[in-house]
Every structure is written in C-alpha cells, then in structure tokens.
Amino acid sequence: MSLVNAAQAADSAEAFRNIPIIDLKDIGSSDPAVRAALVDQVRDACMNVGFLYVSNHGIPDATIDGALSTAKTFFSLPLEKKMELDLTKSNFKGYNPVLSSNNDPGNGGDMHEGFEFGWEELDAHSGPDAKRAKDGVMAGANVWPTSSDCPGFRESVLSYYHAAVGLGRKLFPLFALALDLPENFFDDKTKNAAAIMRVLHYPPQTGPVDDRVIGIGAHTDWECFTILWQEPGIQALQVLNKQNQWIDAPPIPGTLVINLGDQFARWTNDVFKSTIHRAINRSGVRRYSIPLFFGTDYHVRLEPIQSCVSSTRPPKYEVVTAGEYVKSRFNATYGQH
C-alpha cells in the first residue's frame, strides 16, 4: 500500500486508546526480516498514534540518575541565582521560571520551571564547535550554573544529552525506512545535532486546579521527535486522540517515551502524526522530566517527502527552514525575543 493510502486508512481507523511499546533489542540486527518487523511497528505507531514507548533503549540508569540528581540540586537554588541564567537573554538557552512559558495560547502559563541547552562537546576545552556554525536564527552558546552553585551539573546533564542524541541517531534510520526512504535519508540533514534538551520541574498542584494553569498546556512538539524520560511512579503526561479524549501516558519502568513533532509532520505532510499532549502534576509531590527534542539541522528546509504527497493529499504546509520554524515556536511560547 502506498504511504498516502496507508495514511488515509489510518485517518479513518479507530482512535487510539493506548500507546504501543516497541522493544529496541534488535535495532542493530542486520537480518532484513527482523529489521522489517521493527520498522512495521514503528510505522504503525507513527501513523496512528504519534507516540510510542521504547524498551531496551540502551541509556544506562546511572546516566539518567546523574542528570536527575544534579537537576534537583539546580532547581533548589534560590530564584535569583537561577534568574542569572534567564533563557530569554541567551536565545533560549538557560533557565525559565514557573509561569514564564505558555505552551497553550488559551492558557495562562505553564506550571513548571525548566533549564534548556543545545549541543556542546563534553570536553569543555575542545574549542569552538564547528557544528554550531550553521545555527542561524537559533545560534547562541549554552549558559551553565557555576560549579560552586551546582557541582557537576554541566557534565551530568551533557552526559545524558549525548546518550539521548546517540539513541536518536539510531532511530532516524527506522523512521526513514518506515517512510519507504533509504535508511540514510536523514544523515545529511542531521550532521549538526540540532537537538535541544530540557530538564523540567513540575511543582505539585493540589486542591482545585484552574484548568488554564497546568504543568504544561496542550501542545505539539516542534522538532522531528522527542525522547522523553519521565519520573517513575507519577502519572502526569496525557496524549490527545482524534476523539478528543485524553489518554494517560504513564511512566513505564525501563522505557522512554518517543513522540513525533511538527518537523516530521511537515516532512511527511501529516502522514506521521505530531500529536497534542499536556502534563498535569496532581501527585502531591514534585515531578521531574527530561525531554530531548531532535530536529533536522537548522538550515534544512522542511520539504514534504514525495511519497507523502498526491493529488488527493496536496502539500499542507508552507516550506520553511527547521531553524525558522523552531525559533517562531520559541517566540510564541516564551514571548518575542
């Protein structure tokens, strides 16, 4: 079946009620049948849900724990210290306080604080990074807390960053194969690791909650896909199906959530779904999560793939570069900067 026909079938299929779990243990297999079976599962999830969990993802628990524990230390610093790293002063690298972002234009602000950064070599002395030369409108160096304020923060969050980017590099070929493209299709479009990571802290919201002020308002993500670690034992993330029902996406031990974003919706003319989601922390305790958003390089144009376009499915989106798109979403979410 052509991709366009398969997308039409997916569009008229029943709304999803749960999110598939895909085991990546065979991701390195060279057996074409094993690989094809994995790609089929990925295609199905991308066209019907836009969300999936992955198990056997290869990121060590110690790497996750290291990032989480220094993130907790960072968020416990006094607000004035954190505000020295205000992300609106550094082209969206650094700290954003509670209620400073608004992911849902109908809402009154997001009930979380976060810290945001992009690609940087772990070795702080490796000099200017050639990968950053083409960041265009998204250019800007990361900012970091001092090592006396937050010892080991840069190293531990960057270690997780590099592990997650490594996982993302293994996923791109699966997505390409799921789109009937050569598996290296995204290689020359992802040379510069235009990946942004956030560490997020959601204070608990107890008692009556104003529906317009929740942890993160209903939104889609902006890049190709997101790799999301969420704190075990706390249900907060919800995903919207086409019947407008919110489906819980609880943390599942040993897995990460992968969700598609707007860049993939644009590459695929909505054959792959960039699905709306939100998070509300009503658990009574603090919640932490770590999304890493992996997009194509900022100068790359988001042109629809030919197999996703037909006379019955004309191109839905104006062609823009990845950088222009991401920057416009940052401006809409944090205010124009």
Nearer to ligand AKG by Cβ, of 163 and 216: the residue is 216
* Segment lying near ligand AKG (by CB under 6 A), choices 79-87, 229-237, 239-247, 328-336: 229-237
283 neighbors 236 (Cβ within 8 angstroms): yes
Report 264-283 residues binding ligand AKG (CB under 6 A). Answer: 277, 279
Binding status of residue 221 toward ligand AKG by CB under 6 A: yes
Measured CA to CA, the distance from residue 118 to residue 193 in angstroms comes to 8
Q: Alpha-carbon Rg of the chain, whole angstroms? A: 19
- Written as one letter, the residue type at 292 is L
Binding status of residue 289 toward ligand AKG by CB under 6 A: yes
Among 120, 221, 231, 297, binds Fe ion (CB under 5 A): 221
Contacts of 210 (CB under 8 A, 6+ apart): 108
Please give the sequence-ordered ranges of beta strands (E in DSSP) within 56-130, or none if there are none.
94-96, 113-117
Which residue's C-beta sits nearest to Fe ion? 221
Among 216, 224, 234, 326, binds ligand AKG (CB under 6 A): 216
Q: Is the dihedral of CA 59, 61, 64, 66 positive or negative?
A: negative
Measured CA to CA, the distance from residue 122 to residue 156 in angstroms comes to 9
- Reduced to 3 states, what is the DSSP secondary structure of residue 91? coil
Binding status of residue 296 toward ligand AKG by CB under 6 A: no
Binding status of residue 297 toward Fe ion by CB under 5 A: no
Q: Which does 198 bind (CB under 5 to 8 A by kind): Fe ion, ligand AKG, none?
A: ligand AKG
Binding status of residue 110 toward Fe ion by CB under 5 A: no
- Least Å from the CB of residue 32 to Fe ion: 34
Binding status of residue 237 toward ligand AKG by CB under 6 A: yes
- Least Å from the CB of residue 50 to ligand AKG: 12
Q: Which does 200 bind (CB under 5 to 8 A by kind): Fe ion, ligand AKG, none?
A: ligand AKG
Number of neighbours of residue 180 by Cβ within 10 angstroms:
15
Nearest alpha-carbon partner for 246 in 7, 10, 8, 19: 19
